[in-house]
Amino acid sequence: MKSYSLYKKDWQSELRTRYAINALSMFILVTISVIMFSIGSEKISEYLTGGLLWVVIFFSAMSGLSRAFVSEEERGTTLTLQLIASPSTIFSGKLLFNIVLVFLMNIAITILFSILFESFVINNLQLFLIAFLFGNFGIAISSTIIAAIISKASSKGTLYPVLSFPILLPLILTLLELTKYSMDGKPIEKSFVEIAVLISYDVIMLTASYLLFDFIWKD
């Protein structure tokens, strides 16, 4: 409940300042436009479209998700949060905010991809939805803990993608594989290994994040 209150505070604040929402929407529009201009009238393969989807998702996440903690640090309100809530409440609230933001952002990107790219055809929707669901959780969890780490650093902007890349790489690679399978129409039973990797990644990242956050949060 306390985490939910923090999440509500963050949303209300976001709706008034529109920092993350504006940054994300602009990034998505610009990136997809650039891809479309560079492709022109050429027909690209299904697999390439699937790969491009996750590239856009990864970089969009890099442009907006760090705000959860960086904005608190920049406005000087980190101390205020430390005085009103325990570290676990703060992490849960921020994670909830990033989960909702990631889902909204990725649903918008996927809809745009399916409208704008002819070759983006999913033959096993169920498998794609499973990958999408656990993939989004993974991106949100990793981005939240990395945002907490970099908010204490002086060069926040450059550090975020640099630190995120090795942490998100196993997740993105698994998601690419599962997207390829869902485009091929491969049944879920034959994708159990990748799904298990995806779920394990989420569980490991979530546990590690809760254990680490106390140390990151306290100077």
Residues that bind another protein (CB under 8 A): 1-2, 5-6, 8-9, 12-13, 16-17, 75-77, 79-80, 82-89, 93, 218-219
The DSSP code sequence of 73-108 is HHHT-HHHHHHHS-HHHHHHHHHHHHHHHHHHHHHH
Residue closer to another protein, measured from CB, 45 or 80: 80
Are 164 and 147 in contact by the 8 Å Cβ rule? The answer is no
Q: How far is the CB of 84 from another protein (least distance, A)?
A: 5
Is residue 151 classed as helix, strand or coil in its secondary structure?
coil
111 sits in which H/E element = helix 87-116
Q: How far is the CB of 17 from another protein (least distance, A)?
A: 6
Q: How far is the CB of 217 from another protein (least distance, A)?
A: 10
Q: How far is the CB of 19 from another protein (least distance, A)?
A: 10
Residue closer to another protein, measured from CB, 90 or 205: 90
Are 122 and 181 in contact by the 8 Å Cβ rule? The answer is no
- Give the burial string for 135-152 (b: 16+ CB within 10 Å, else e): bbbbbbbbbbbbbbbbbe
Q: How far is the CB of 18 from another protein (least distance, A)?
A: 10
Residue closer to another protein, measured from CB, 6 or 176: 6
Among 80, 209, 189, CA closest to 140: 209
Residue closer to another protein, measured from CB, 57 or 81: 81
Q: How far is the CB of 78 from another protein (least distance, A)?
A: 9
Cβ neighbours of residue 209 closer than 8 Å, sequence gap 6 or more: 91, 95, 141, 144, 145
Residue closer to another protein, measured from CB, 1 or 115: 1
Structure token digits, residue 29:
């529009």
Cβ neighbours of residue 181 closer than 8 Å, sequence gap 6 or more: 124, 127, 190, 191, 194
Residue closer to another protein, measured from CB, 10 or 202: 10
Q: How far is the CB of 16 from another protein (least distance, A)?
A: 4
Residue closer to another protein, measured from CB, 83 or 115: 83
